Amino acid sequence: MDWNSVISQNPWWNNAEEIEKDVEVSYAISKEKQFLPEFVEGNHLIFGPRQTGKTTYLKLCIRELINKGTPANQCLYFVCNLVMSNQDVIDIVSLFKKSGGKYVFLDEISFVKNWERSVKQILEIKDLNEGITFYFTGSTILELQKERFPGRPIKIKEFLPLSFREFCNVFGSNKLKNEIPKKFNLDNTVKNAPKFFPFITEIDKLFNFYIHCGGFLRSAYELIEEGKIKEETFQIYWNWIAGDISSIGLSERTLSAVLKGIVKRYSSSFSLSSLAKEVEIPSHVTVRNYLEVLESLYVLRSYWKEYDKTPFFRKERKVYFIDPFIFHIASFKTLGIMETPDETPKIVEGIVGECLRRNKLNVKFLRSGKELDFASGKVGIEVKWQEKVSTKDFPKINLAQKIVLSKKDIDLKEQVKVIPVSVFALMS
């Protein structure tokens, strides 16, 4: 391994002030509304989609450590797409430890063939790990299907586009930020909602931004600061999805067909066979494979109706993107439509589903004559993004808690509770 390639990625070793000039760091700290996640002690393996700021986060951690007094030459950053083998990773760590290093940040470790062997070896061999904290990042959970490092001293975390709650913590007023809860309890949703009603104008404004830009920082800053998301930004994020698909030997053309079908059927349930037929893909097995890969790449999630208390994976499902901006990307690249106002109710429904899934809840949809959008435990949720809603909009399904999420309306007096969807998303 050429050590000069390591040195070139760590200019702060010679001058600690160089961390402030780093492209990702300088961009993050230049913003009036800053997203500066903090360094957390302990070893971490961080997975999430590309373009969410994982690289920026690692470098912000280095900046924080340096500003708190850690010698700059004790913080190593290295992007592993430059590494040829897992032995190169071991060599880098070994040499850095011998030089007195304390913190190792290895970006895109999943680029390395058999990368999990490197991580396991690092965590198991005292001569490699003693006195050192490790951060690793990757971009797909496909790798974690093979290895989750049971019993090893490492935490596996997801680094996803900002949820609406996190979005408000970046772009909201200080008064609003002070009220945002740190944890979500679905059972207490109705009880906790009224405290946010005084902020409803600000919350609705932020939610309208979020519907269009989602939780990706690049699109969010462009929309909020410049009033428009650049077409270049759509292309950058599409290249992430299409590039990852191509890298594992799948077809961008088939990807486009599958995504086109999802956009056209968004928020509606469908079978794999019906989607395959509509987009002219020969086999439903192909559709299933692409959906599974896209889920592993943090592009979308599948939801099933409950059959005899267990999801029936070969039956109908609903699919939502993990972030509203991905919907806009897919719509633009497959249908040529960048803004789709008529699709907003469906996009909002997807935001609610993701709110529930981010909180590790078991979420399904139900049907009893009329379909209920989401159910988790004894709580049912119907999303109605329209000017007027009523308690009658909730399907005739027997659940202990019944909630209708509205565009504006509020009604907490009836058995079916009505609260604004923006408030629900903020709390979750």
- The pLDDT value given to residue 308: 47
Domain identity same for 134 and 180: no
- The pLDDT value given to residue 360: 92
Spatial contact of 47 and 141, defined as CB atoms under 8 Å apart: yes
- The pLDDT value given to residue 226: 95
- The pLDDT value given to residue 147: 55
| Cα gap 96→49, rounded to integer Å | 29
Spell out the residues 6+ positions from residue 86 whose beta carbon is closer than 8 angstroms to its own: 112, 113, 114, 115, 117, 118, 121
Which two three-digit tokens encode residue 13? 């070793």
Q: What crossing angle do the helices spanning 115-124 and 86-98 adopt, rounded to 10°?
A: 30
CA dihedral (135, 139, 141, 146) positive or negative: negative
Q: Which of 274, 406, 301, 289 lies closest to 364, judged by CA?
A: 301
Domain identity same for 152 and 184: no
- The pLDDT value given to residue 345: 96
Domain identity same for 306 and 406: yes
Please say which residue of 110, 127, 158 terminates a domain: 158
Domain identity same for 302 and 178: yes
Domain identity same for 50 and 172: no
Q: Which amino acid is at 96?
A: F
Spatial contact of 23 and 134, defined as CB atoms under 8 Å apart: no
Strand partners, 420: 406
Query: CATH number of the domain that 107 lies in?
Result: 3.40.50.300
The structural domain count of the chain equals 2
Domain identity same for 278 and 233: yes
User: What phi and psi values does residue 228 have, to the nearest 5 degrees?
Assistant: -160, 140
| Cα of 255 vs its chain's centroid, Å | 20
Domain identity same for 195 and 214: yes
Domain identity same for 151 and 241: no
Q: Please state whether the predicted TM-score (pTM) of the whole model is above 0.85.
A: yes
Please say which residue of 123, 158, 193 terminates a domain: 158
| Cα gap 203→172, rounded to integer Å | 8
Domain identity same for 170 and 215: yes
Spatial contact of 371 and 269, defined as CB atoms under 8 Å apart: yes
Please say which residue of 124, 141, 158 terminates a domain: 158
| Cα gap 331→351, rounded to integer Å | 16
Domain identity same for 99 and 208: no
- The pLDDT value given to residue 82: 66
| Cα gap 326→343, rounded to integer Å | 13
User: What is the end-to-end Cα distance of the chain in Å, rounded?
Assistant: 46
- Could you list the residue range(s) of the whole structural domain that residue 30 is in? 3-158
Domain identity same for 379 and 320: yes
Domain identity same for 133 and 256: no
Give me the tens of pLDDT residue by residue for the chain, a chain 428 residues long.
Answer: 678 889 999 999 999 999 999 999 999 999 999 999 999 999 999 988 888 999 999 999 999 999 999 999 999 999 987 667 888 899 999 999 999 999 999 998 888 888 888 888 899 888 889 999 999 998 766 555 555 666 678 998 999 999 999 999 999 999 999 999 888 999 999 999 999 999 999 999 999 999 999 999 999 999 999 999 999 999 999 999 999 999 889 999 999 999 999 999 999 999 999 999 999 999 999 999 999 999 989 999 999 986 545 555 567 899 999 999 999 999 999 999 877 778 999 999 999 999 999 999 999 999 877 899 999 999 999 999 998 999 999 999 999 999 999 999 999 999 999 999 999 999 99
